Amino acid sequence: MTSQQLKEEIKRIASELGFQRTVIASLEPMETERQEYERWLALGYAAGMEYLKRNPHFRTSPQMLYPEGRSAIVVSVSYYTEVPEPPPGFFGKVARYAVGLDYHVVIRAKLRELNARIEKLAGRKILAKAYTDDVSLLEQGLAARHGLGFAGRHTLIIGPQMMGTYNFVAELITELELDADEAYQGTCGKCFRCGEGCPTDAIEYGVGVNSNRCISYLTIENKGGIPLELRKPLGRWVFGCDVCQDVCPYNGRPNYSPWEEFSPERGAGHHLDLLSILNLKSEEVFRERFVHTPLRRPKLRGLTRNCLTVIGNILGDRSSETAASVSDVCRDDAVAKLFQFLETNPEDMLKEHAYWALAQHDDYKTRAKLKQAIDSEEDPNIRNLICAYV
């Protein structure tokens, strides 16, 4: 079998396994991509993600990641599922990629299966390592350099033939020497719907995403509080955000996920019961509830912070649409749960978010009780902060 025939067989097998697009990548350093990445870092747009700031040369040198490798099989698979109408009451939205099982585990298993099929085809053991969004590698740059798609203004890889952006990207770095594919020539043209639609203005034309303002960063990687000016724009997003993808013209005809592991029935689903999170008493209980799902990432502390913020946004939303799905009884129950939460003596950051959420509710009984609670606060810093918006 020639090298070209082997390459075509690999792509055929990958397709049989459900990968919707497969390309072969060189492991040569990505110099142009490194320069762009360093420029992005210099702007401070990596926010608090210190791991992104370490050694850009390593991140853009795939050979250093796995020295035994000679080429990379780069694949994409859709995670798209339809979002149903939210249940009535206090529910937050989960980004599509996170509604099912943890994609790291699922995709690595599929890549190991791909390598096993390649070994059977070749009739010998083949050294290979599977990666997906969990190592020091500029995956977007590698994928774009070899034609998996092109990087849109939102920095996501846009696949050809309207494959859109609702796709995971992953790599199988292999000892096989395979001819690399060329870049795919795609463009956003003059379109900037992703930036115009972003609730927090996190996308800058020609620059990329400012993580300091990105809802995905704020709700997942961010270890501190959510800045006051960004809480209302968060809307109902409790884990991640899909707005820049939802408005992208290339997502007009999205491919549905071929794997049932990414279905909402297997994981947390598209909508999260916010008040139930306030009842979780320990990190252990939290892990048990969200085992094998991406929602473990921010830990109980981070997800509780997100829930408090979204509860506040719902309490403050008096639109007819919200009024139809969130009754006064539901609001009263949420207010009671927030006061109960404060009685558990949460840490200052969570306490402040709970007070903020209560302050969004335009109800005289709530505000009177809130002022009493604040007056009894021993920490003057918390008291002064909350008094500013009560």
Contact 10, 118 (CB under 8 A): yes
Q: Can you tell me whether residue 102 is helix, strand or coil? A: coil
Residue where the block lists tokens 């609730």: 199
333 included as an active-site residue: no
19 contacts: CB under 8 Å, gap ≥ 6: 75, 76, 77, 110, 114
Calpha distance 383→381 (Å, rounded): 5
Sign of the C-alpha dihedral, residues 114, 71, 139, 58? positive
353 contacts: CB under 8 Å, gap ≥ 6: 225, 226, 305, 308, 309, 312
Give first-to-last CA distance, the chain, whole Å: 74
Which one of the listed residues 133, 273, 332, 363 is annotated catalytic? 133
Specify the DSSP class assigned to residue 260: G
Calpha distance 314→323 (Å, rounded): 9
Residues labelled catalytic: 133
